[in-house]
Amino acid sequence: MSTSTSIFVIRWINFLTMLLAVGVVGFGIWMGAHHDGCRKSLTLPVLGLGGVIFVVSIVGFFGAWKNNTILLWIYLIMLCLILVAILVFTVLAYKEYHLQDYSSWFLKQLNNTHNWKHLKSCLVKTNDCSNLSKRYKTRKEYKLAKLTPIEAGCCRPPSECGYPAVNASYYDLSFHPKSSSKDCKLYKNSKNVKCYSCDSCKAGVAQYMKTEWRVVAIFNVILFIVLSIIYFVGCCARRSAARRRSKI
């Protein structure tokens, strides 16, 4: 790659990523403005991500614009650290979920009373369970519906209990449960109770997070490839800046 091309590419790539960073920070501020505690818990990570992207981008942009070798070195080091972090985070976490259904560490965090209390409050606020009766008007529709892991685990009693469904949000609990599972006793038709304290709900959340992680892993792989290309272009820009300085 020629000197002028590498400088031009790294300059404009980082200008675009600066705009992206502003968008990420704006999204984080928007999340923080909402009173939903579940969204607020994600505000700091989103703002942090936007801030890191902005700092790295602005260093790379000015380094390429001024042909400054020192700034480009700093840019490459920061970019390299980000690449390593993405690689480690993706590989280790994906390996953990791939080798066994749910890791002992993850189950420990899920069973932690404080953590589950917060997660449960988030599940209640999403209204996933309340919306089932609006989506499925008849018992037949509900019976044939393909429910998400959270809907299947948190919104209804386990099938082993044998409670007959009156509709998508109400079960006849007058029947004696067929199973001795504690989940059968924990389930209530109340929209704030449902099966949110059940082990089946925790398993549903775990399965949901496992599925979502695959999407995150794919995104991280794509991001890693893109950043690797940018890193290569940045190396070319640094070399060209160094050659120009040596000629002066």
Low-confidence ranges of the chain (pLDDT < 50): 94-100
AA identity, residue 29: I
* 75 occurs within a structural domain: yes
| Domain co-membership, 235 together with 188 | no
pLDDT at 98: 35
Q: Looking at the domain assignment, is residue 121 inside a domain?
A: no
Q: What percent of the chain shows pLDDT beyond 70?
A: 71
**Domain identity same for 233 and 176:** no
pLDDT at residue 25, as a whole number: 77
CA 183 – CA 195 distance, rounded (Å): 7
Count Cβ atoms below 10 Å from residue 43 Cβ, excluding itself: 17
183 domain-assigned: yes
Domains held by the chain: number: 2
Same domain for 67 and 88? Answer: yes
Q: Is residue 138 part of a domain?
A: yes
Q: Which residues contact 16 (CB under 8 A, 6 or more apart)?
A: none
The overall longest dimension of the chain from CA atoms, in Å, is: 89
- C-alpha span between 14 and 30 (Å, rounded): 24
Question: Could you tell me if residue 109 is inside a domain?
Answer: no
pLDDT of residue 180: 87
Let me know if residue 26 belongs to a domain: yes
Q: Are residues 18 and 95 in the same domain?
A: yes
Residue-number span of the structural domain to which 151 is assigned:
126-203
In sequence order, which residues have a C-beta less than 8 Å from that of residue 184 and are 6 or more positions away? Answer: 157, 158, 160, 161, 163, 177
Query: pLDDT tens-digit profile of 84-115?
Result: 776 776 655 544 433 345 666 667 777 778 87
What's the pLDDT tens digit per position in 31-42?
667 655 555 555
- The predicted-structure confidence for 48-61, as pLDDT tens digits, reads as follows 777 887 888 888 88
- Distance (Å, rounded) from C-alpha 52 to C-alpha 71? 16
Q: Which tokens is 145 given? A: 């519906």
